Amino acid sequence: MSQSVLFSLGVLSFIGNFQRTSPYAKDIPPIGMLALRPIEYLKTCGEVYKMHVAYVSAQTAERRRQKVEDVVKRAEYRKAHGLDSDEGFGGWTARTSEQDLGPGMKVPDRETPTVAVAADASAGATGSAEPEGEGKTYTDFEGKKRPIKKWLGIW
């Protein structure tokens, strides 16, 4: 009983919100058509809802594009007026990925194995190629053996 009440309240709030916010609410056929031609009524409602979703998606994409343009314009303004050293609140600026990494950081290559240094160091100390404490390895999709990483000491 309570689930049916909650479901009906959810449907009613969805319909009310759709009628208030959608420019396509007037395209929904009258409710009397549901009893006469239910398949046609539901098909029309589905098409109207798809138009509404496309409209909302276009609005969201436009807002996001405007925000990105605003950030770029602010960065250009700061650079043009010599305010580039002061990054503002939280360092929110329009940067490239190379600028984010900084001069000392490098993007790791996929060809360079990251476990090789740890394996070589532990091999020199214990005589085996496995890291200490782990003891178990797995073979990844590229055929390289890697130690099993545990998070929080559990997995």
Integer angstrom CA distances of residue 142 from 115, 128, 138 = 14, 22, 11
Rounded CA separation 148/137 (Å): 5
116 neighbors 146 (Cβ within 8 angstroms): no
Q: What is the pLDDT of residue 135?
A: 63
* Contact (Cβ atoms closer than 8 angstroms) between residue 110 and residue 142: no
SS (H, E, C) 80-139: HCCCCCCCCHHHCCCCCHHHHHCCCCCCCCCCCCCCHHHHHHHHHHHCCCCCCCCCCEEE
pLDDT of residue 57: 96
Phi, psi of 135, rounded to the nearest 5 degrees: 80, -20
pLDDT of residue 116: 46
pTM above 0.75, yes or no: no
> What are the structural domain ranges in the chain?
2-99, 108-147
pLDDT along the chain (155 residues), means of 10: 95 95 94 94 96 96 96 90 65 58 53 47 44 64 80 69
- Predicted local confidence at residue 65, as pLDDT: 96
